[in-house]
Amino acid sequence: MPLPTGRLDPAKAVARLRSLVSIDALLTDEERMVRDQVRAFVAREVLPHVGRHFEDKTFPLDEARRLGSELGLFGCTLPPEYGGSGASHVAYGLANQELEYGGSGWRSMLSVQSGLVMYPIHAFGSEAQRRRYLPRLASGEIIGCFGLTEPNSGSDPGSMRTTLRRRGDGWVLDGAKAWITNGSAADVAVVWAKDDDGRVRGVLVERGTPGFTARDETHKYAMRASITSALSFEDTPVEEDGILPGARSLGAPLRCLNQARYGIGWGALGSACFTLEHALGYALEREQFGSPIAAFQLQQEKLAWMFAEVAKAYLLALHVGRLKDAGSLEHVHVSLLKRNNVWMARECARLAREMFGAYGVSGEYPIWRHLADLEAVYTYEGTHDVHTLILGEALTGIPSFRRDPA
Ligand SMILES: Cc1cc2nc3c(=O)[nH]c(=O)nc-3n(C[C@H](O)[C@H](O)[C@H](O)COP(=O)(O)OP(=O)(O)OC[C@H]3O[C@@H](n4cnc5c(N)ncnc54)[C@H](O)[C@@H]3O)c2cc1C
């Protein structure tokens, strides 16, 4: 049977897809340059190895330090005196997008180091703390982690049990944190705990501090190419200069989460581009019933859905990024971005998985890795449900997070 007329060669089809969803004309030269640099790095350093790391449950930490030392991405929106470059938030978003095209673990590394470690030290730290940590975090010389979640405290971080109690001239930290990205690799942990007055405080705990241990989560079936650890603090001493002076309520860690969620919204877009491009290429090559499966309307519908959602998600990310650069971003915009784009990317990965048939569940093809990782991204940094509730509260004025006991 002759093949359908006008069928595109897969490589040309992907190039055409990229030109159709492109937002190039809406970006500045600097933003395009950052995107292209990260894209080249991902093609060279990430994509050839990430599948093996996912299978082996390893993360190439020393390679990832190059995001700071070579690409200058860690904390890039901060001022130069703290190791940043004053990059636009859109440029930072594009970097997240390109990294997650390679893998969610790589983008998680950037999110944590920039949004959850450097941001709180810059926003809530003393000048001495900023000078001590930020330049070394920016270069990747040291790695940080962010400990908010606990075994019994996830979506409701206000229920945390970790305590920071006064003892003599100093303090002592006790408690446990769960699911902490970079935990066992971290030279410094930003840990959230309640003080004697029940206020949430941010504490900087360095690796090797007595009573501080980290143990890796080894039974993960998502985000395998990423370090995730449980942290434990037993009678861990904290000096006054280890406490972030500007953080005195739950609002402080929530502000950090908003930074990371912004990057995640862009990152998910990269994952969706990856699964869409690979689904398109595969559909043009895979033949059944004498035709490429791309010739069947049911498969074209899936591709059209993914294309439309990716194009819309790009515009949303760019709009939210421009609002952030203009200083007029509200937290509800970030929830809108994280909720929509991660959901969209998860649906794209699911559809691509279907289109790959049995090969979609094979580790020899890259779709399953993205689908599995997006399950974690859908849950962390505020679950999809939680962002739905944030939008609901913004629209109605009624918070519906908790049910009062009957
Ligand atoms: C790979 C990975 C990396 C992570 N990295 C970090 C990190 O670096 N630092 C950190 O602090 N945490 C990290 N987390 C933890 C993550 O932020 C939490 O998993 C997340 O906040 C959800 O908490 P939970 O898993 O305890 O789920 P729960 O809060 O127990 O939620 C369970 C279910 O109930 C739903 N639910 C909860 N409350 C409500 C409500 N009010 N209304 C309706 N539905 C509700 C949720 O949507 C979810 O479906 C990571 C998690 C993963 C998987």
User: What is the domain partition of the chain in residue ranges?
Assistant: 22-139, 144-242, 251-396
Q: How confident is the model at residue 217 (pLDDT cuts 50, 70, 90)?
A: very high
Q: How confident is the model at residue 21 (pLDDT cuts 50, 70, 90)?
A: confident
Distance CA 271, CA 68 (A): 22
**Residue count (the chain):** 406
In the block, tokens 């309520």 appear at 249
Atom 43 in ligand 1: residue holding the nearest Cα = 385
Atom 31 in ligand 1: residue holding the nearest Cα = 155
CATH of domain 22-139: 1.10.540.10
Q: If you classify domain 251-396 with CATH, what class do you get? A: mainly alpha
- Residue with the bigger pLDDT between 233 and 23: it is 233
Name the CATH superfamily for 144-242: Butyryl-CoA Dehydrogenase, subunit A, domain 2 (2.40.110.10)
Q: How confident is the model at residue 4 (pLDDT cuts 50, 70, 90)?
A: low
Ligand 1 atom closest to the Cα of residue 400 is: 41
Q: Could you read off the pLDDT of 311-340 as tens digits, one per residue?
A: 999 999 999 999 999 999 999 999 999 999
Q: Could you read off the pLDDT of 158-210 as tens digits, one per residue?
A: 999 999 999 999 999 999 999 999 999 999 999 999 999 999 999 999 999 99
Three-state secondary-structure class, residue 88: coil
CA 379–ligand 1 middle distance (angstroms): 5
Cα Rg of the chain (Å, integer): 22
Ligand 1 atom closest to the Cα of residue 148 is: 11
Token pair for residue 136?
A: 């070394």
Q: How confident is the model at residue 241 (pLDDT cuts 50, 70, 90)?
A: very high
Residues flanking ligand 1, CB < 6 Å? 112, 146-149, 154-155, 179-181, 223, 228, 376, 379-381, 383, 385-386, 389, 401
pLDDT score at 256 = 96
Q: How confident is the model at residue 6 (pLDDT cuts 50, 70, 90)?
A: confident
Strands, DSSP E only, in 59-169?
A: 144-147, 163-167
In the block, tokens 């790589």 appear at 106
Ligand 1 atom closest to the Cα of residue 147 is: 11
Distance CA 286, CA 289 (A): 10
Distance CA 57, CA 106 (A): 13
